[in-house]
Amino acid sequence: MKKIVLTCLLLFVLTAEAKHRRLNLQKAMELKLVKAGASSLGAYQGNCISMSLKNLTADSLLVVVEAGRRLNSKEDRYQDIIITREEFITLRKAEEKKFNVKGYCCQASNAAPCLNAKYDVNTMADSGLVALARFLNANSFDTQAEQHAIWAVSDKRPTAAISNKYDSLVLPLKRQVAAIKGEKLPWYNLMVVTYVYSTGHLDSHASLLNGNLDFSNNEEGYGTLKVYDEKGRQVCITESKWLKAGTGQKYALSLPVKTLNPGKYRIELTLDKILLATQAFEI
């Protein structure tokens, strides 16, 4: 008797699920099966967007809100938001649902949206941002690391700014972003401070560069670190430090970069005019 009841229950569940027509939001909108809307919850990262879906059909639907969908602000001054977590929304016939979605600003130069700012929903982001959004959908990192990863792709910010720590947990994210941008994995990390003004505008500044310079030295002596800009002009001498003789050494670097303008630079470690190590970096 129990088997019969369980079998009937299973058939009922399968039948109910079978009535749901599953399709991505993009397809559902193209076929005019749903009406979609989005508005800001007053933030630019995390669960910062409220979406609504209304089923315009007489059948039930299962709509997949894709990671990688770009929500374009209806006001040019506000940031666009890219969705980074896939959502599965079931709708009965003619039903309307509201739900929050996770996303991040992908226009760092614009202002953070105010509460209830309206967004268009009918756009997928470019291939690089879609690839990153899908990666973030399948993995979980610190909120700030995810935001800086988005900006590294959307606004061409340095990949090194994703995290200011030598954290193995964040390393896969840095590798993914570097691969999307077609660049080498940065040898250094940047500490970046982001300010949000009362107008909603963001201002990010790199303040410190951390990394290790590999070098070998036949004789001990005072080594000097110098930094040059793209035109070969020396912009600062950071320090002079006693170096022991030896091979396979690492120079632990903690370089203040707050006064440097955004751009590409080269750092050199020398001893008695002998070049021991050189590396390029970008801020």
Given a cut of 80, whether residue 87 has pLDDT beyond it is yes
3-state class of 207 per DSSP? strand
Given a cut of 60, whether residue 255 has pLDDT beyond it is yes
Per-residue pLDDT band for 20 (boundaries 50, 70, 90) equals low
Contact 52, 98 (CB under 8 A): yes
Percent of the chain with pLDDT over 90: 81
Closest CA to 278 of 215, 235, 218: 215
Residue 36 to residue 122: CA distance in whole angstroms: 9
Predicted confidence at residue 10, as pLDDT, reads: 39
3-state class of 262 per DSSP? coil
Predicted confidence at residue 15, as pLDDT, reads: 40
Contact 155, 194 (CB under 8 A): no
**And the tokens for 203?**
């201002």
User: Span 191-203, mean pLDDT?
Assistant: 83
What's the pTM value of the predicted model, to 2 decimals? 0.86
Residue 6 to residue 11: CA distance in whole angstroms: 9
**And the tokens for 105?**
């600003």
pLDDT tens string 118-169: 999 989 999 999 999 999 999 999 999 999 999 999 999 999 999 876 677 8
Neighbouring residues of 82: CB distance < 8 A, sequence distance ≥ 6: 68, 69, 70, 71, 103, 104, 106, 125, 129, 133, 150, 154
**What distance, in Å, lies between the first and last C-alpha atoms of the chain?**
71
Contact 105, 61 (CB under 8 A): no
Neighbouring residues of 62: CB distance < 8 A, sequence distance ≥ 6: 20, 21, 22, 23, 88, 89, 90, 91
User: Span 253-265, mean pLDDT?
Assistant: 92
Q: For the purposes of burial, counting CB atoms within 10 Å of the CB of 116, is it exposed (0-12), middle (13-18) or buried (19 or more)?
A: exposed
Predicted confidence at residue 6, as pLDDT, reads: 45
Predicted confidence at residue 205, as pLDDT, reads: 86
Predicted confidence at residue 208, as pLDDT, reads: 93
The DSSP secondary-structure symbol of 148 reads H
Per-residue pLDDT band for 199 (boundaries 50, 70, 90) equals confident
